[in-house]
Amino acid sequence: MEKEIVLSVKRLSKKIGKKTIVQNINFDITKGEVFGLIGPNGAGKTTIIRAIVSLIHRSSGTVMINGKSVADDFKTTIADVGGIIENPEFYMYLSGMENLKQFARMSRKPVSPERINEVVAQVKLTNAINNKVKTYSLGMRQRLGLAQALIHQPSLLVLDEPTNGLDPQGMAEFREIIRSISSQGTAVLISSHLLAEIQQITDRFAIIEKGRLTHIEDMQQVNGGSTPTYLFKVADVALAEGVLRQLNYPFSLDDAAYIQVNTAEDQIPAIIQEFVAHDVAIFEVSAKKVSLEERFFQLTEGGNV
């Protein structure tokens, strides 16, 4: 069964004078998917996002949200979008709740008090929501920005560099919230130059190089694909090789002390039991993952973008 497409971008380009900023951008995002745009600063990520939500004029191309053209029916389509395109702005002298109530009054969709409380809990601000925003940390303001973007129950959430300036705890909290949002069916478009963050949060990613979309890849492929790779550090490599040959497991040498085995996770206990039964001493077992940074350099010929 095909997944429902929430956002469809076709042949999107933006020119300023004679200069082409982004050219011929094409991608779709499905319901409940987290899709990342990655690339260095100045690659065109923010331009793409701003063009999608019509903060800037598109020179050419189409943007469809839930099957409707943004150009043909702006009010209806944009009502299904929530976003943090730049740093979220608030009335600092008001509480978080007062800010959300003000945004709710401006929403094109009716927003009930129950919905506001639901979103406040979702972004983990229940204990601080009645405090003035000027007392909030950066991470709390980012989460309040998420609440603001979500109160009208959008089908598409658009985030441009949302974790900039956050500490590790703030980033971890943000990732958890985004995963919760996507699990409820909201499609998420997120741009970042922080590749480690994108690897942990997205289902697919697109690389933007000098205004062009050059690659789209499933994050599962970066994280090991359908058959992951495991590294066994053993005392006797030759003995371990003999055991694996008897079991018909495909393997290779990663270096002098590690054996690399391609197998499903549920097979690892059986391999360990066989190693122990044949007196193969095991020092370490770990899943081998290529970092998104490594994959980025592979796809961009050394990262020269």
Tell me the pLDDT tens digit for each residue of 63-72. Answer: 999 999 999 9
How many structural domains comprise the chain?
2
Q: Does the structure show a pLDDT above 80 at 1?
A: no
* pLDDT at site 304: 47
Q: Is residue 305 part of a domain?
A: no
CA distance 87 to 279: 58
CATH number at residue 144: 3.40.50.300
- Answer yes or no: is pLDDT of 73 > 60: yes
Tens-place pLDDT, residues 177-227: 999 999 999 999 999 877 878 888 889 999 898 899 988 988 877 665 555
Q: Which two tokens stand for residue 251?
A: 């393997």
Confidence bin at 305 (pLDDT 50/70/90)? very low
Both 145 and 244 in one domain: the answer is no
Residues 92-128: tens digit of each pLDDT:
999 999 999 999 998 888 889 999 999 999 999 999 9
Q: Does residue 108 sit in helix, strand or coil?
A: coil
Q: Is residue 23 a part of any domain in this protein? A: yes
In the predicted structure, residue 175 carries a pLDDT above the cut 70: yes
Q: Is 273 helix (H, G, I), strand (E, B) or coil?
A: helix
User: According to the model, what pLDDT value does residue 249 have?
Assistant: 80
Range of the domain at 254: 229-288
- The answer, yes or no, to whether residue 28 has pLDDT greater than 80, is yes
Is there a single domain that holds both residue 99 and residue 242?
no
| 21 plus 140 within the same structural domain | yes
Weakest mean pLDDT among 103-112, 144-153, 257-266: 257-266
81 phi and psi, to 5 degrees?
Answer: -120, 135
Contact 25, 52 (CB under 8 A): no
Do 204 and 277 belong to one domain? Answer: no
Distance CA 295, CA 305 (A): 14
State the pLDDT at residue 227.
Answer: 59
Q: Considering the domain boundaries, does residue 132 fall inside one?
A: yes
Which of 180, 197, 222 is the endpoint of a domain?
222
pTM of the model: 0.78
Name the nearest CA neighbour of 289 among 214, 195, 212.
Answer: 195
pLDDT at 150 over 90: yes
